[in-house]
Chains A and B, each alone.
Chain A
Amino acid sequence: MNTPLNRFATLIWLVLVILTIATFYIGERIVSGSAVMMSVLVISLIKGQLIANYFMGLRHIRWLWRGIILGYFVIVGGMVAVAYLI
C-alpha cells in the first residue's frame, strides 16, 4: 500500500530524523550561545509543526487547532528563550 500519502509520510519521517540528528550535532559539536539556543528552539518548532500537521492529522483541520499547537511552541519556546537570555 505505497500510496502517495504514505510516501509523503515517509518523507516527513525522514525530515524529522534529519532534524533530530542536526539537533544532536549542535549539542555535540557546538558550544553554548544564544544563537545556538535559538536555532535548536526553531528546529523544535519546525519538528512540532511537522508532527502536528502530518502525524497528528491536523493539516486540514480548522486553523484554530493548528494555531493552538503553533502558539504552544511559540509561547513555550519563547519563554524558554527569555529564561536563557536573562
Chain B
Amino acid sequence: MNTNTALANETEDLPGDFAIWIFILAEMLVFGVMFIVYAFTRASQVEVFNASQLTLSRGLGTLNTVILVTSSYFVVRAVSAIKLGNSRSSAWWLIGTILLGGLFVAVKLWEFNQKFSAGITLETNDFYMFYLTLTFFHLMHVLMGMIILACIIYKLRHGDYRAAEYTGVETGASFGPMLDLLWCVLFPLIYIIH
C-alpha cells in the first residue's frame, strides 16, 4: 500500500517500498553483530584498543558525523519537496546530498591515507582491523547510497516522480538516513568510548 494516501493522524505504512526495509534491517543486523563483537574483543585487549583509539582523529570523525546528519536532513527536504510536486527542488536537495556524500568519502579516504602512511594495516592489531573493516564497510554503503540517489535524480529530471507518486524517492531516501543511524553507534564506539 502506498503511503501517499495514509492519514497523518493514523498509523501509516512504512515509507517507500517494503523491500528496502527488509534490506535495512538486514544491514543493521550485520553491523550490530560487528559492533558487539568489537566490544567483546576489546574487553580482552583494553590497553591495546585504548592506545590505538587515541591515534584516531576525533575531529575528523565528528566532521563526518555532521556531514552524514546534514545529508540525512537534505534527504528529508528532498522527500518533502516531491510531496509538494516540486521535482526540481527535490533533485537539487538530492544533488546536495550526493555532494555531502562525496565530502564524507574524501574525509574518510584522507583519514585512511594517514593511517596507511603511518604503516598501519589490518594486521597491525585487532583495533585497527575493526576500525578499517567497519569504516570501510560503511564507506562502501555510502558509495552505494550515492549511486541510488543518482538514479533517483535521473528519474526526477525525467519527470518520473510527482506529488501523486513518489514512492521511489521515499524508497531510495530511506537508505541514506540508515547510514546515519549506523554511524550513530559506529562513531562513539570506534572514536570516543574508551
Interface residues of A (CB under 8 A from B): 1, 3, 5-6, 9-10, 12-13, 16-17, 20-21, 23-24, 26-28, 32, 36-37, 40-41, 43-44, 47-48, 51-52, 54-58, 60-62, 65, 68-69, 72-73, 75-77, 79-80, 82-84, 86
Tell me, rounded to whole Å, the shortest Cβ–Cβ distance linking B185 to chain A.
6
Residues of B within 8 A of A83 (CB): 36, 39-40, 42-43
| Closest CB pairs A-B (n = 5) | A83-B39, A27-B192, A57-B15, A13-B73, A24-B62
Given known contacts A1-B81, A20-B62, is B181 in contact with A56 (CB within 8 Å)? yes
Cβ contact of A44, chosen from B28, B75, B184, cutoff 8 A: B184
A56 to B185, CA, bound (A): 16
State the CA gap A54–B12 with chains docked (Å): 14
B89 nearest CB neighbor, chain A only:
A1
List residues of chain B with CB under 8 Å of any chain A CB: 6, 8-15, 21, 25, 28, 32, 35-36, 39-40, 42-43, 50, 58-59, 61-62, 65-66, 69-70, 72-73, 75-77, 79-81, 84, 86, 89, 170, 174, 177-178, 180-181, 184-185, 187-189, 191-194
Q: Which secondary structure characterizes the binding site on chain A?
A: helix
Q: Which residues of the partner chain B approach A57 to less than 8 Å between Cβ atoms?
A: 14-15, 79, 170, 174
Cβ-defined contact, B185 with A51, below 8 A = no
Measured between beta carbons, the chain B residues less than 8 angstroms from A86 are 43
CA A65 – CA B15 in complex, angstroms? 11
Known: A37-B193, A40-B188, A55-B177. A3 touches B80 (CB 8 A): yes
Task: Give, as a whole number of angstroms, the nearest-CB distance from A53 to chain B.
Answer: 10
Pull 10 A–B residue pairs with CB atoms less than 8 Å apart, ordered by A.
A10-B73, A24-B58, A28-B58, A44-B185, A51-B69, A57-B170, A62-B11, A77-B185, A79-B39, A79-B40
In the complex, how many angstroms separate the beta carbon of A43 from the nearest chain B beta carbon?
Answer: 7
Shortest Cβ distance from B42 into chain A, in angstroms? 7
Contact B11 A23 (CB under 8 A): no
Residue of A nearest to B192 (CB): A27
Tell me the bound Cα distance from A23 to B42 in angstroms: 20
Q: Determine the residue in chain A with the shortest Cβ distance to B194.
A: A32
